[in-house]
């Protein structure tokens, strides 16, 4: 494996500085939370874009977690699932 170039190292430093400035380090598989300017809660790390809901919406969704889990299990054969290890 070759040593990184000066430009690659400088880019890595810039990326790390940007992560520190935003307060959201990019850790594979980690979920992070942020309060939006409008007072909603955004969850990062689920996909390409954040999931953003207001407090009442989160509470309503979380209140149905048992129903959601049951629905997902019942519908599993119809859902697109990632293969293990991906």
Q: Return d(Cα 52, Cα 40) in angstroms, integer.
A: 6
What is the pTM (predicted TM-score) of this model? Answer: 0.60
Q: Return d(Cα 41, Cα 34) in angstroms, integer.
A: 6
Per-residue pLDDT tens digits of the chain, which is 86 residues long: 688 898 988 888 888 877 777 665 566 678 999 999 999 999 998 988 999 999 999 999 999 999 999 999 999 999 999 875 54
Q: Return d(Cα 13, Cα 32) in angstroms, integer.
A: 22
Q: By CB neighbour count within 10 A (0-12 exposed, 13-18 middle, 19+ buried), where does 58 fall?
A: middle
């Amino acid at each position: 494996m070759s040593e990184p170039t000066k430009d690659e190292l400088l880019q890595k430093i810039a990326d790390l500085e940007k992560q520190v400035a935003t307060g959201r380090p990019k850790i594979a598989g980690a979920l992070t939370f942020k309060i939006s300017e409008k007072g909603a809660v955004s969850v990062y790390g689920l996909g390409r874009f954040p999931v953003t809901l207001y407090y009442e919406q989160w509470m309503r969704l979380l209140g149905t977690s048992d129903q959601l889990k049951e629905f997902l299990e019942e519908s599993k054969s119809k859902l697109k699932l990632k293969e293990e290890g991906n």
